Structure 1
Amino acid sequence: MKLDYVTIERRGGIAVVRFDRKANLNAFNEKLVVELTHAARSFHDDLETHAVVLAGAPNGFSAGFDLKATDGWTSETDDLKRRQRAYGGVRLCKAWEAMPQITIAAMERLAVGAGVAIALACDWRVMGRGAYLYVPEVKIGLNLQWGALPRLISLVGPARAKRICVLCEKMPAEQALAWGLVEEVAEDGKTVERALELAEVVLSMPAPTVRMVKEAVNATAGALHAATAFADADQSQLTATFRQAKSARESFRKS
């Protein structure tokens, strides 16, 4: 598959996957979702790579899903095709979560909505000191989807997950570290460098054992994730039709 927005750089047993649309603060569109899904799946049977660093654009990890990219979705008359499109992000995050390698998201400047969701699907997160996390879905009448809500709850607990999703507050790096959303805070511009340092330590460990531990932790922590988030894209398609949700999105786009 030809990749226009995604590059893969291999450094021995470590790979760096970078995604950059070069538009709209690296917001996701369908093509980027498909390319990043393909990139993740390319590692599933890879026995030579043991750690993968995921990096966004230099000017921002990702501003979330590009609302303009969904403008034409409502004109889709085939319900099955529309549902297939809606679940693209779910498949993307599942592909990253299922990778046998240790995955580390390196986040510069901002991670918003879908950008937070893909980072939560990774094993660890490194955040720039001046960066922030922001989950504005409720503000625009949607629920946090892509299977991200149970992952978020696993990391911060139910009360903090409600605050993050309902109050839609921008979270600075130090707070994200204190709440357990990220494992490391690095100087701005140095998140990939710090992620690579962690990857080097992973590389020094027995590879089969690392993979078994990751599988065991994910199986335990995510035992009920599929049961609680299996319909999150369907829920968003429903809530998006609510009158207040439509009004909220219009206001958000104008802001």
Structure 2
Amino acid sequence: MGEFTRIERHGRVAIVHFDRGDKLNALSVAAMRELTDVARAFEDDIETSAIVLTGTGKFLSAGADLTDPELANRQSKGLLARRHALKVGPDMCDAWERLEQVTICAVEGFCVGGGSALAASCDIRVAGESAYFRLPEIPLGMNMSWHSNPRLVNLMGPARAKLFIILGEKLFAPEALDWGLVEYVVDDGAALDEARALAQKFADLPPVAVRMSKQSIDMAAKALNPAVTFMDRDQFALAATSKDQQEAVSAFLEKRKPNFTGD
């Protein structure tokens, strides 16, 4: 058990509970590092065939913790240190995507920003009917990073990925099902039970064949993903220097419509 995570095991199924003990379950730097370490710990685990990742039962995550002092501290560092600090989010998502076990994300409530990026890194998503996904990065003057764009294109196709990523609007579970972002929509409060039952189906199958099949499918769908995301943290760092990004944050805090100029 870590500070923010708890692992529950049922035979060849593992359930990872992520809970920061607050009302947002936001992804602080420490939480992201812990979730990365949890994923990496499964790399040498040949006793587990399927992993369920879930939040508190009421929500998955509000995304990156903008109040995290460690995030604020990196802004005062040099370019090399700032660029290195931006690895923590993509490293977390990459660690979950690389796992040979089948990964299933159980989503209740909100799944925002980095929470949606993390969910997209898993193989399958199960959502409660009232759950919603949202990416606020573009309206806030940032780019969508964490190696997420091609993953979302893989799931939703390019047109719907543009609608979801660029507009920053809420995508509720029934529509997310239609768009391909989630695979199952269930009654509110039942996402974890459904995800666990699905995980058990994978766990009941021959583990070597399951792992090889997952890797073959991923390579067919995602072979070019690294080639188109290797610069997304540099794009994020560049976007963070723009006046539009400052204007977006100011307008958000002041509850007014932003005035973007392209500067």
TM-score for the superposition, normalised by structure 2: 0.93
Between stretches 229-238 and 17-26, larger displacement belongs to 17-26
Question: Residue 227 of structure 2 corresponds to which residue in structure 1?
Answer: 227
* Residue aligned with 1:76, SS: coil
Question: Residue 61 of structure 2 corresponds to which residue in structure 1?
Answer: 62
Superimposed CA distance per residue, residues 112-137 of structure 1 (whole angstroms, 9 cap, x where no aligned partner):
01000000000000011011011111
Question: Residue 140 of structure 1 corresponds to which residue in structure 2?
Answer: 140
Superimposed CA distance per residue, residues 209-235 of structure 1 (whole angstroms, 9 cap, x where no aligned partner):
110010011111111100100111111
What displacement does 1:247 show? 1.1
Question: Residue 129 of structure 1 corresponds to which residue in structure 2?
Answer: 129
Structure 1 residues 211, 254: CA separation in 2 closer, same or farther (over 3 Å shift)? farther
Question: Residue 76 of structure 1 corresponds to which residue in structure 2?
Answer: 77
How many angstroms apart in 2 are the aligned matches of 1:201 and 1:58? 22
Q: In the comparison of the two structures, how many residue pairs are matched?
A: 253
What displacement does 1:147 show? 0.7
Question: Residue 160 of structure 2 corresponds to which residue in structure 1?
Answer: 160
Residues 25, 59 of structure 1: 8 Å contact kept: no
Shift >4 Å, 4+ stretches:
none
Q: What amino acid sits opposite 1:41 in the alignment?
A: R
Q: What amino acid sits opposite 2:59 in the alignment?
A: G
Question: Residue 16 of structure 1 corresponds to which residue in structure 2?
Answer: 15
Q: What amino acid sits opposite 1:195 in the alignment?
A: A
Question: Residue 174 of structure 2 corresponds to which residue in structure 1?
Answer: 174
How many angstroms apart in 2 are the aligned matches of 1:92 and 1:203? 24
Superimposed CA distance per residue, residues 85-128 of structure 1 (whole angstroms, 9 cap, x where no aligned partner):
10111111111011110000000101001000000000000011
The 5-angstrom pairing of residues 83-122 of structure 1 reads 83-122=83-122
What displacement does 1:254 show? 4.4
Question: Residue 202 of structure 1 corresponds to which residue in structure 2?
Answer: 202
What displacement does 1:11 show? 1.1
Q: Which runs of 5+ in 1 are unaligned?
A: none
Q: What amino acid sits opposite 2:73 in the alignment?
A: G
C-alpha RMSD over aligned residues:
1.2
- Over the matched positions of the two proteins, sequence identity in percent amounts to 42
Between stretches 29-38 and 215-224, larger displacement belongs to 215-224
The 5-angstrom pairing of residues 179-194 of structure 1 reads 179-194=179-194
Structure 1 residues 137, 209: CA separation in 2 closer, same or farther (over 3 Å shift)? same
What displacement does 1:163 show? 0.8
What displacement does 1:71 show? 2.5
Residues 127, 173 of structure 2: 8 Å contact kept: yes
Residues 108, 131 of structure 1: 8 Å contact kept: yes
Superimposed CA distance per residue, residues 193-246 of structure 1 (whole angstroms, 9 cap, x where no aligned partner):
000110111012111111001001111111110010011111111101100111
* Residue aligned with 2:42, SS: coil
Q: What amino acid sits opposite 1:75 in the alignment?
A: S
What displacement does 1:23 show? 2.7
Question: Residue 261 of structure 2 corresponds to which residue in structure 1?
Answer: none
Between stretches 245-254 and 32-41, larger displacement belongs to 245-254
